[in-house]
Amino acid sequence: MKLNAIIAEDEPISRNFLERYCEKSGMINVAGSFADAESALEFLQHNATDILFLDVEMPGDSGFQLLDKLTVMPKVILTTSKTDYAYNAFQYNVTDYLKKPFSYVRFQEAVNKVTESFIDRKTDVKKEDIFIKSDGKLTRLNYEDILYIESVGDYVKYCTLGKNYITHSTLKAVEEKICGMGFMKVHRSFIVNLKKISNIQDYTLLIGGSQIPISKLLKTEVMGRINIAG
Partner 1 sequence: MSGGYFEFNSKLDIDFLKSLYEDDNEHAEMVFEQFLQAISTQLNELEESFIAGSTEIFRKKIHTIKPILSFVGLTGLTYKAEIIEKNCVGASGVNVVHELYTAFKNELYQLIPVIENDLTKLKALTL
Residues that bind partner 1 (CB under 8 A): 10-14, 16-17, 20, 24, 57, 81-82, 100-101, 103-105
Nearer to partner 1, 59 or 152 (CB): 59
CB of 105 to partner 1, least distance (A): 7
- Going by their DSSP bridges, the two strands 155-160 and 146-152 should be labelled as antiparallel
CB of 44 to partner 1, least distance (A): 24
Distances (CA, A) of 109 to 117, 119, 145, 185, 229: 13, 15, 36, 37, 51
Query: Which DSSP state fits 216?
Result: T
Nearer to partner 1, 13 or 228 (CB): 13
Nearer to partner 1, 107 or 190 (CB): 107
Nearer to partner 1, 22 or 70 (CB): 22
Report the alpha-carbon distance of residue 184 to residue 162 in Å, rounded.
21
Nearer to partner 1, 89 or 174 (CB): 89
Nearer to partner 1, 2 or 20 (CB): 20
> By C-alpha distance, which of 43, 28, 42, 33 is closest to 10?
33
Nearer to partner 1, 56 or 146 (CB): 56
CB of 81 to partner 1, least distance (A): 4
Report the alpha-carbon distance of residue 95 to residue 78 in Å, rounded.
8
Strand, coil or helix: what is 161?
coil
Cβ pair 46, 175 in contact under 8 A: no
Report the alpha-carbon distance of residue 81 to residue 13 in Å, rounded.
13
CB of 55 to partner 1, least distance (A): 10
CB of 106 to partner 1, least distance (A): 8
Terminal CA-to-CA distance of the chain, rounded, Å? 39
CB of 11 to partner 1, least distance (A): 6
At 176, which amino acid appears? E
Sign of CA dihedral 103, 104, 106, 107: positive
CB of 10 to partner 1, least distance (A): 8
Query: Which DSSP state fits 143?
Result: G
